[in-house]
Amino acid sequence: MKTVKAVVITILTTALTITMLQGCSEQDKKSKTVASQKAAEQQGDVVEQVTIEDILPESATTSYNCDDSSGMTADKRFWCLGLKAWSQSEHFDEGSSARDEFINAWKLGALDAQQARDPAIENLQTRPLAAAGYESGYVSVLDAIGIVEYECSEGEETDNEYRDRWCEAANAYNSSRLGSPANAVLRGTYINGYMSGRAIALTLPTSMESLFGGESTPQEGAKKAIDEPDSDTPKSIQVFYRGFNDGFQAMIDTVRESVNQVMEQMQGMPGMDGMPPGMEGMPGMDGMMPPPGMMDPMAPPMPGQ
């Protein structure tokens, strides 16, 4: 009797989880293909990266009095931020020419990060001073926009759930080929989308029939998980959308696997070939147990498919 009660509780818990999942409105596959191709084309565009020649100007670099806040143009603001980074670096006091090289590299690193471009630090390895300035500028933008970073080891689980899901999303980004693994800006955008997709997957209600039956067409008026962006939207939006869909699918797959495991365990229990005793008359439980074979595969509608 206790076993049956435990099974009933398990089923009810599973049912509650499933009813929270929404197979969202299926987007037109052709539109999704166009958007994906657009993102790939943008990633494949040949973009000139920073080189040593960009950092070492032929003429002397303009200097500013950063103690004077008047006439704070964009160039002066950037130069003064670079000067502050220079004064805090290990290369401080190496002379004005070294200072100018560092600041020029710092400005280009910050600009690349602001534009979500892949870091070009490998092009500067022959000039450690320029490499240090460029990296400092790039990282300054990451710090300003609050990019979170974790060290991830493959297959490692910790007591930090957010960190583990972040690493899961980071691995998905690296496999997506949307950008360089070193591009922390695009990766952070993808991860934000991935995390959002995982969370939204548990907030949209869906019918048991849709989940069990694998309906490919969403119900009329079903709430969408996310609007598909136009094909000409900026790459950052395309990357967020891709991350959202990947995270949404990952959560669906996780719940589907858990439900299938519970159902398989129940079908193998003596006397559990059908509905457990006492549950047949419960409101909303009609059709709770699907016919054999219907659970494989379970495929609720997904956004963008």
Contacts of 184 (CB under 8 A, 6+ apart): 142, 147, 149
Contact at 8 Å (CB) between 209 and 215? yes
Cα–Cα dist 69/76, whole Å: 10
Peptide bond preceding 297: is omega within 30 degrees of 0, i.e. cis? yes
pLDDT of the residue at 54: 74
State which residues of the chain have pLDDT below 50: 1-46, 207-210, 216, 279-299
Q: What is the pLDDT of residues 52-81, one digit of tens each?
A: 777 766 555 678 888 888 888 888 898 999
> What residues contact residue 299 under an 8 Å CB cut-off, 6+ apart?
214, 216
Q: Cβ(250)–Cβ(16) under 8 Å?
A: no
Helix (H, G, I), strand (E, B) or coil at 272: coil
Q: Would you state the pLDDT for residue 125?
A: 83
Question: Does the reported pTM lie above 0.75?
Answer: no
**The predicted structure's pLDDT at residue 19:** 38
| Per-residue model confidence (pLDDT) at position 288 | 45
Alpha helices, DSSP H only, in the chain? 2-19, 29-44, 52-55, 74-87, 96-114, 128-144, 161-176, 184-200, 208-213, 235-267
